[in-house]
A and B are shown apart, each in its own frame.
Chain A
């Protein structure tokens, strides 16, 4: 509880900060909407179509790969926490790591060899 109370206060204070930024700009700033000012800015040329242009599917692959590797990396954290203590009881955790990391490295090697990340 001692650790959570300051966090809660920080959250409230930062929310208040955001609210005050919003309100102060609304109060202080002039309001003079000119139609041309409200158009989307694409180097002064009128946009011909909506903002949605086709993207390379690599962007999607990056997001999926990130998700998978993030899960794998998250498992490293508890492992790293107890590794130092476990050394007293022999190298069991070292073997666990090597097997785990070997599998992860195979996955990584597979991606790199597919050259999926080259976007041009």
Chain B
């Protein structure tokens, strides 16, 4: 272990983390603009050209606000809760393979913070810790609405973690590995000569389950019951203000980026461009670093498509009722997930291997 290793590891962690945090202001702007578009109004247009500086103004406002701790709250847990959401959201991005590798300082560097051999389970496991920020935040706030919101949110998140896991099992069966990086490497080239060799064509039902469950896991509409403002004021973060409130939102948007990244990596070929192999591209470009840039661009494009889908759905669909939400998970998604595993297993046996 040399000093260079330390520097590379630190750079990877910091650069990728900072890049993912940039998702938050971009998403705030896109979300507000799309909402305005759908509701036929101009949206933010005063701060900077086209209102582009609006997220900066928002962030400054959050920072400059008073940060009161309400009476009768449990101060320690109340203060820690937003960070209990944010830390898992920061940690999960370590497993996402953004691009293959670059050559810097005369060394090959993989564009992924940590290439664990169990990175898929790592994302699911650390992601499941995000529920504590909500639970403890709701409990420590000393407010009925917060508590109800927290309980609802937690039941929802745990109910939808199972379909998410079952969909992931389908992907693990097809690829035969837990490593997200190896999954992407296997998705190069074409399938049957016409289709890109992507996971979605092996696990279409798994992908749909994953998509629906990821909406619920990130507490987005149509599954945003924890903060259904008509019933619960603002749900678990009713008593939060200033930057603590914003921290919950940072965590939410970062989770959104992680979920989109996970779908890109498992079902849409990660950094691969369709129909072209990396070797062909490398020959065309003649430089590994240039190829790496193109891969990063491809990855970001695919993730943005998913993020845009999240925004569109948020402003077009109404909210579920709570019992409908639970029935959807336990009564439909989990049985379909199990069935998907059986059917995939039998198909793989009949077709021999893949």
Q: Please report A residues at the B interface, Cβ cutoff 8 Å.
A: 1-7, 9-11, 13-15, 17-18, 21-22, 24-26, 28-33, 37-43, 47, 50-53, 55, 59, 62-63, 65-66, 69-70, 73-74, 76-77, 79-85, 87-88, 91, 94, 97-98, 101, 104-105, 108, 111-112, 117-120
Contact = CB atoms under 8 A, between A and B. Distances in A.
B64 A28 contact: yes
A102 B87 CA distance: 38
Interface string B1-22: 1000110011011100100000
Given A3-B114, A29-B67, A33-B68, A84 B143 contact: no
A39 B65 CA distance: 18
A37 B68 contact: yes
A10 B63 contact: no
Of all A-B residue pairs in the complex, the 8 with the closest CB atoms, nearest first, are A14-B90, A80-B172, A84-B176, A18-B83, A66-B158, A25-B243, A6-B9, A10-B13
A108 B173 contact: no
B13 to A, nearest CB: 4
B342 interface: yes
Interface residues of B, number: 84
B331 A21 contact: no
Contact of B63 (A5, A28, A59, A120): A28
Given A32-B66, A52-B147, A97-B341, A62 B159 contact: yes
B142 interface: yes
Contact of A17 (B69, B90, B165, B342): B90
B338 A81 contact: no
Contact of A119 (B65, B90, B322): B322
Interface of B: 1, 5-6, 9-10, 12-14, 17, 63-72, 79, 83, 86-87, 90-91, 93-94, 113-116, 121, 141-148, 151, 154-155, 158-159, 161-162, 165-166, 168-170, 172-174, 176-178, 233, 238-239, 242-244, 247, 321-323, 326-327, 330-331, 334-335, 338, 341-342, 345-346, 348-349, 352-354
| Interface class of chain B by DSSP | helix
Contacts of B335: 105, 108
B242 A25 contact: yes
Given A6-B94, A80-B172, A17 B162 contact: no
A40 B140 CA distance: 11
A76 to B, nearest CB: 4
A103 to B, nearest CB: 11
Contacts of B116: 3, 7
A29 B349 contact: no
B63 A87 contact: no
B345 A38 contact: no
28 contacts: A1-B1, A7-B116, A9-B14, A11-B87, A13-B13, A14-B87, A14-B91, A25-B65, A29-B64, A29-B65, A33-B68, A37-B68, A40-B142, A40-B239, A47-B143, A51-B146, A51-B147, A69-B162, A76-B165, A80-B341, A81-B176, A83-B173, A83-B348, A84-B348, A84-B353, A101-B342, A105-B335, A117-B331
Nearest to B329: A117
Given A29-B242, A62-B155, A69 B334 contact: yes
Given A6-B12, A51-B144, A81-B176, A39 B70 contact: yes
Given A7-B91, A50-B142, 17 more contacts: A3-B116, A6-B10, A10-B90, A13-B17, A25-B244, A29-B63, A38-B68, A40-B239, A41-B143, A41-B238, A42-B144, A62-B159, A62-B326, A81-B176, A83-B345, A84-B353, A112-B330
Contacts of B174: 84
Given A21-B243, A117-B323, A11 B91 contact: yes
Contact of A40 (B91, B121, B143, B148): B143
B155 A73 contact: no
B144 A47 contact: yes
